[in-house]
Every structure is written in structure tokens, then in C-alpha cells.
Amino acid sequence: MKKQAFNPYLPSWEYIPDGEPYVFGDRVYIYGSHDLYNGHVFCLGDYVCWSAPVDDLGNWRYEGVIYPKTSDPLNPQGKMCLYAPDVTVGPDGRYYLYYVLDHVSVVSVAVCDTPAGRYEFYGYVRHQDGTRLGEREGDQPQFDPGVLTEGRKTYLYTGFCGRGDKSRKGSMAAVLGEDMLTIQEEPVLVAPGCEYSRGTSFEGHPFFEASSIRKIGDTYYFIYSSSVMHELCYGVSKSPTSGFRYGGVLISNCDLHIDTYKKPDQPMAYGANNHGSIVQIRDQWYVFYHRHTNGTWYSRQGCAEPLTILPDGSIPQAELTSCGLNGGPLSGKGEYPAYIACHLFCDEPSVYVGGDRFPKIMQDGRDGDEEPGYIGNIQNSATAGFKYFTCRGVKKISIRVRGYADGVFEVRTSWDGPALAAIQVQYSNVWEEYSAALDMPDGKQAVYLTYRGDGNADLLSFTLE
């Protein structure tokens, strides 16, 4: 029996942000950087890979470490972190991994014969005179490479643009030759940063970081993170190195701009930076992105949502859900872990992660401990939302809670709807189960749990019966 697919799609104790998804053969592979639980900075881990069958997207397999940080000759002691990578298949059929270390401004390349084998260091992207890209006078600093190979050419996109820095223009595209290293066509600007976006179609959503590139039909889609950070945007062009115009927002990791169930400027989760891309898995397109946990920027987890590509090539913004890769709503019966909450907020709104009053996804133990995730720091008004479920005859809800809290969890099917049940909880330093009768309407429903009371609770799971 196939597993249901949740967000995040990997186990709750795994932290793989900056996801670049690809289908190779009959499996989808995810390549990303590697955060640690409770990490003090971004990307502290080695590159690892996970994959899933294209017809069973809830069943992810750990492929192991594909590239240790010490593999790069510039990093023999592992003092630098491996930032967001990308992968492409070269003209020779081998798999090439492009990445940038956190304290140098050159693009490194590793290679492997298989999608998820052990990659070996291959070289640095260079100009024809041998100078490494990023080190010649006039080069933009290198960051977050995205790659696309067509025939014997590979298009390389890199860039980072902070506010106030006019030395960085935007995302730059270069064309590499058949050796996957040597620049054949010099870098050109394809998406302007905030200092150069005024008067262009990108104004209001200028390029910040996270260059990624895909081709659908005869159209190139340039995917990137904008200056507000929580949103992944896209631009479109018929050429891979020129003519890109702004297309729209693909996803926001706080659901900003979505106006179907709330006001468009109302955040529904605690966002921060974002990075990801799009992929077609069988007959469905998805956007892969990441969310933030532990109340910090540094423990990020991969999520995915289905996309609709309209006949004119435009892509409406995807909504945050708990069931992204599932192919539809989750079953309206059974126990669900609290860490799959797609909405997390309290009466004090915040677009960005952080703050002592805010609820957060957590885990017990240390990084690598296979401990189930839960929602911690649940104080008065904290709300967790789960979307969506196909409900039939649901008459009872149970929750597993611990912590020094004395109050009730109100149950709703919309964030601002009437309470359908109230579950009383009490002080406990172990997980306890509490239940209440619930007359849940049949059909496609969300579940919202709002705490009202004193103290601070943790929520492990809920069960619909």
C-alpha cells in the first residue's frame, strides 16, 4: 500500500532546503544543501540525496552522502559550508554537481556516473584564459548556481544581490562548453537585483538569490528568490540568456499574496528565505521550496506543492498545504503528526520567523536523532492549520499534548470560522491524549487547532475518527 505524502516530504528529522528536483528514470531525486537541527548557521552538513518512485511520492529513500564538504580542494578541513547546489546531465551522460562554498567566490564542479552515487571533485568554472569565474576583474561574485544543459552547451546562472550593493547587478548567465567548465560565452545579466530593477518588469520582485532554470516547451523559466526572501518568483523568455520578463510568484513560505481564504497581506506561517524549483512528475508539475523550523533561519525543511501551468504559460501562485505531493487531500481518518502543519501563527502576525511568543516546529534530541517532530512553544492564541482532508463521518478528534499548560484547544475547519469543539488539556510532562466529540462536515476540509489558556504546550499529533 502506498504511503500518503505529507509536507515536509522527507522525515521530520531531516533538514534539506534549497531543493532542486529532477526526474531521472523512474525516480525523482532531490538535491539541496543540508541544514542541521538547531544549527547555528546555514548549510552545515554534507550533501546528501533522497529519492522516491515517480508513482509513490510518499515513499522517500535515503541515498546517503553524495559529496562531503571536505572533497573540495579549497576546503580540506571542512571549515567552509556547502551552499545550495544544482545538478545537470552533461553531453557525456554523466551527472555534474555545481556549487559554491560559503567563503569563496568561485563555482566548483563535481561529477558522478549515477544520479545519487559518490560525486568526485572535477574542477572550477573558468574563463578561457584559465582564470576562475569570480576572480577576474569585473566578475560578479558567484553564488547559488543553477544549470541547464542543452546539447553540447550548459547554461550557468549565478548571483546574489543585497540592498545597497551596486556592485552586484543581478543573476548572470554564462554558457559553458562541452567540458562543463570552460566559459564559451561571457556572463550576461538575465534578472536584475534591487539596485537595478527600477523601470523593468522585475520591479517590486527583484532578484535576490537562488537562481534556477527549467525549460517547458520552447519557453525558459528562470526561478529565483526575490528581495522579500519568502517568495519564489519566475521570469520567462524564449532565449536562455536574454529577454526574460517577470512572470509572477510561484510560492510564498508564509502564503502571502494568496487571497482565496484570507486577505492577501496576511501571513499564515513564519517565513524567511526561500529557494527551490519546479519539476514535472508524470503528468503533474510541482514547485519545491522550503520552510523554517525551530524558530530560526537555520533548520529548514523541504516542501512541495502542485502547480497549474495555464495555456498562456503563466503559473498561478501555489497555496501552502500539508498534502503537497499526495495527489489530493489526505484521508479524513487516522492519526497525523503535528509537524505537517502548513499554517502556524498567533494573534501577533509576523511574516518572518523568530520571536519568543511564536509557536515552532521542533524535535527532541540532537540533529540526526530520528525523533518525531512536534509543535512547541504553544502559548495563548497559537494556531496550527492542516490542509486538506477528505472527511466522511468524522465524529471525534483526539490530540497528544504535553507541557505545563492549562486551557483548551479549539477545533475549526477555517482559521476564522466557528469553533466546532474544545479539547481540555492539563499540566503534564509526558505525552497525554485528550479527546472531544466533533461533528466535522463531510467533504474537503482543513483542521485548525487554536490554544486558549495559560502556560506553554507541545502538540505531537491529532487523530480524526
> What is the SS3 assignment for 210?
strand
- Could you say which residues of the chain have pLDDT below 70? 1
At residue 398, the 3 state secondary structure works out as strand
**pLDDT tens-digit readout, 242-291:** 999 999 999 999 999 999 999 999 999 999 999 999 999 999 999 999 99
CB 304 within 8 A of CB 285: no
Considering 14, 18, 86, 410, which one is annotated as catalytic?
18
d(CA 341, CA 354): 17
Say whether 218 is catalytic: no
- Percent helix / strand / coil, the chain, rounded to 5: 0, 45, 50
Q: Determine the residue type at 198.
A: R
Question: Where does 310-417 have alpha helices with state H?
Answer: none
Which domains are delineated in the chain?
20-307 (2.115.10.20), 330-464 (2.60.120.260)
Q: Exactly one of 14, 20, 35, 209 is catalytic; which is it? A: 209
Q: Could you give the C-alpha distances from 133 to 183, 214, 445, in angstroms and in order?
A: 8, 23, 52
CB 193 within 8 A of CB 170: yes
* Nearest alpha carbon to residue 84 among 209, 213, 249: 209
Amino acid letter for position 230:
H
Q: Is 14 a catalytic residue?
A: no
